[in-house]
Amino acid sequence: MTEPALARLSVVDRFLPVWIIVAMIFGLGLGRVFPDLNDWLDTVKIGSVSLPIAVGLLVMMYPVLAKVRYSQIGEIAMDRKLMASSLILNWVVGPALMFSLAWLMLPDLPQYRTGLIIIGLARCIAMVLIWNDLACGDREAAAVLVALNSVFQIVAYSVLGYFYLELLPNWLGLESAALNVSMWEIAKIVLVFLGIPLAGGYFTRRWGERSRGIEWYEGKFLPKLAPWALYGLLFTVVILFALQGETITAQPLDVARIALPLLAYFGLMWTVAFALGLRLHLSYEKNASVAFTAASNNFELAIAVAIGVFGVTSGEALAGVVGPLIEVPVLVGLVYVALWARKRFYADPAVVG
């Protein structure tokens, strides 16, 4: 009899929501007890992203990318249903849904509305690997989809920003905003937050398999490396909430207004993506990869763009930083929804993965 998916998770993984909540509370506490902590943590940056957050993200992503079997990526990339569904969900459905929710739920708050649209245009290249891994998704498929998002992000982000913030609002008779961001600025963020851990993961696997063999690499080395992904995630959560603790507690109503469309967005995107995967008869593993890739966003890019274009104290920047604060707990919850859906819609886990 196949062991239930939840039972196969480690103790740390099974109680991840608890650790996330503890990390949030701890981060908020740090931000309130040490008011100058915000300025200190934000002193050193990579682009517009705080160095401590950057370190946490890199530590979080490296173990996941070291698990990827890169020899299988070519076959995954040839899966037309997988690639087409991900492209449509990420670059057509996602931005359109966020634009709609932002205007429907924040018609009187243009700065926050613009910040949400910026988030919707930034497709995920980082934390999605964690959610996919926790949900027992296809690591190789997730790596391919993240790489695909990275290329489209560099090429299409500025164009979509012009369309959704200037062109479409003018067509609809709505208030417009300008978004001036270069391809190079986007490429820098992609290279740092995906390129570095991807190169590290790839060369680590090549070294491990060549020097010690695949059995040692996957049976002994990876189990020791794996927990660092969650340590990096929890560290990042603490830093995020420490940086924004004062803002969150000083403007709770504004945070709540921003949070509502974000909650609707993450839930709707994941549900639509997973339902589409079922319709296309994708395996559970590939379906989970598509759903989490579609529902997640690249908050590093969204924050950098919001701060770079509108300023660190702007409403757009506040919306940008609220994004990951809502995304993290919601996507953790969706991991458990995915594992339930695996049992409900994929009758024999032993057959489908």
Where does the pLDDT of residue 323 fall: very low under 50, low under 70, confident under 90, or very high at 90 and above?
confident
Q: Determine what percent of the chain is predicted with pLDDT higher than 70.
A: 90
175: amino acid identity, one letter: E
**Average pLDDT, integer, range 204-227:** 90
pLDDT for position 49: 65
**Average pLDDT, integer, range 259-278:** 96
The CATH fold of domain 44-228+261-342: Na+/H+ antiporter like fold (1.20.1530)
Higher-pLDDT residue of 33 and 270 is 270
Task: Reply yes or no on whether the pLDDT at 100 is more than 50.
Answer: yes
Where does the pLDDT of residue 284 fall: very low under 50, low under 70, confident under 90, or very high at 90 and above?
very high
Contact by Cβ (8 Å): 336, 157? no
Nearest to 103 by CA among 113, 118, 91, 115: 113
* Tokens standing for residue 127: 């934390």
Supply the mean pLDDT for the chain. 85
Higher-pLDDT residue of 59 and 75 is 59
pLDDT for position 185: 75
pLDDT for position 292: 96
Give the span between the Cα atoms of 34 and 121, in whole angstroms: 34
